[in-house]
A and B are shown apart, each in its own frame.
Chain A
Amino acid sequence: MEDLFNYIIGRYNYWAAIILLLIGLYGMIAKNNLLKKVIGMTIFQAAIILFYVSIGDKRGATIPILDHGHGTHQAIEAAAYANPLPHVLMLTAIVVGVSTLGVALAILQKIYRVHGTIEEDEILETIDQ
């Protein structure tokens, strides 16, 4: 029982990321409204960012900015600082997310101008005609 408890608690960062990811993916596939698809896309990307950032965490570690001053120089204890690499990678992913969101919204505005709606089934009707 305790094992199971530790197992669930010890990895709840992954559970959170996976649940968010599935919600986002469901929105992207199943929603009829294109704007909701875009919202799903944002949730999906946020889930992956959460996943990466949680990789970088170390128990008891602080942010990866060294304590420094002129003249004072001591050996750096790597265990005392969080892993910087996932943060760097996610800065990129955030930027990519913002860019994709901007482009998707621009296309959405154009779709509204051409078809007069952003509901997928109504758009398909106007294309068939």
Chain B
Amino acid sequence: MKKTALIIIAVLGILLLRAAEDLPSWGDPQSPASVHLSNYYLEESYEETSVPNIVTAVLADYRSYDTLFETVVIFCAGITVLLILRRTPRRWPKVISPRPNRPGADIILQTAARLLVPMMQLFALYVVAHGHHSPGGGFQGGVILGASLILLALSYDIEMALHRFKEKFVLLFSAGGVLLYAAIGLVCLYLGRNFLAYGAWADLLGISELAAHSHGMLGVEIGVAITVLCIMFSLYIDLASGGDLDEGL
């Protein structure tokens, strides 16, 4: 197997190195990748969407169909892990040995976590809400929100984290986030425009088309954040406890 692998990577390496000669050098402003679509987005997107963060504008508006399915990928992974891990009868040996019971040993960790978690969540909301103007957006904010719950589960245990955020709601919200995203697009469809054409919201909300684009993006980013939050947490609790949802790591 090792020999086959070496042959494969040798062939691939030679191919890729030969191809690299042909590519534009690093940071070349005239490379084809940086002039065609890129310049259009840089020059026009603020006029067309009123969002200064161009990455957000491209992500959530020009290519928002991609982003919808990106959210679906996350959702799909969450359901997949659920389906795989949570079916076995409990007679198999545990993958992760139970942690030693040392009462009081985690006190520093737990106090620190109690202080950190609200800060993290507040910051995450800022990242979601300010994604139009600064680095950030639904995925980033959602991951930070998820991390705050994971921190809780790490410093206490999974049962405690699940007490705060019931598993029923985890599943409900993870589908709900994608549904929110799709619903924003479907309303456009219903109003006679194409799917995800946020301009259709202008009449409904009584705002200009430009503002409708901005609002539409905010809406879908919130949907993304909800799904990412839930699935990150769900992936952690499932993987850390082998699907048993008990104490975990």
Q: Which of B28-36, B110-118, B176-184, B186-194 contacts A (4 or more CB under 8 A)?
A: B28-36
Answer yes or no: A36 CB below 8 A from chain B CBs: no
Which chain A residues lie closer than 8 Å to B207 at the CB level? Answer: none
A30 touches B1 (CB 8 A): yes
The one of B9, B12, B43 in contact with A76, judged by C-beta atoms closer than 8 angstroms, is: B43
Which of A22, A68, A84, A107 meets B12, CB within 8 Å? A22
* Inter-chain contact B20/A29, CB cutoff 8 Å: no
Chain A interface bracket (under 10, 10 to 19, 20 to 34, 35 or more): 35 or more
Interface centre among B27, B59, B66 (most CB of A within 10 A): B27
B interface residues, how many (CB within 8 angstroms): 62
For chain B, what secondary structure do more than half of its interface residues adopt (helix, strand, loop), or is it mixed? Answer: helix
Is the beta-carbon distance between A12 and B55 smaller than 8 angstroms? Answer: no
Decide yes or no: A58 and B29 within 8 Å by CB, A18-B13, A65-B135 being known contacts: yes
In angstroms, Cα B26 to Cα A58, docked, is 8
Q: Which 8 A-B pairs have the closest CB atoms?
A: A99-B77, A10-B25, A30-B5, A29-B5, A59-B27, A83-B38, A66-B52, A64-B54
Would you list 26 pairs from A and B whose C-beta atoms are within 8 A, ordered by A residue? A7-B21, A10-B26, A14-B23, A25-B5, A25-B8, A25-B9, A30-B2, A32-B1, A56-B33, A64-B53, A66-B46, A66-B52, A79-B29, A85-B37, A85-B38, A92-B66, A92-B70, A96-B73, A102-B81, A106-B80, A106-B238, A109-B85, A109-B242, A110-B84, A113-B92, A113-B95
Chain B residues packing against A (C-beta within 8 Å): 1-2, 4-6, 8-9, 12-13, 16-17, 20-21, 23, 25-29, 31, 33-34, 37-39, 41-43, 46, 52-55, 57-59, 63, 66-67, 70, 73-74, 76-78, 80-81, 84-85, 88, 92-93, 95, 133-135, 139, 235, 238-239, 242-243
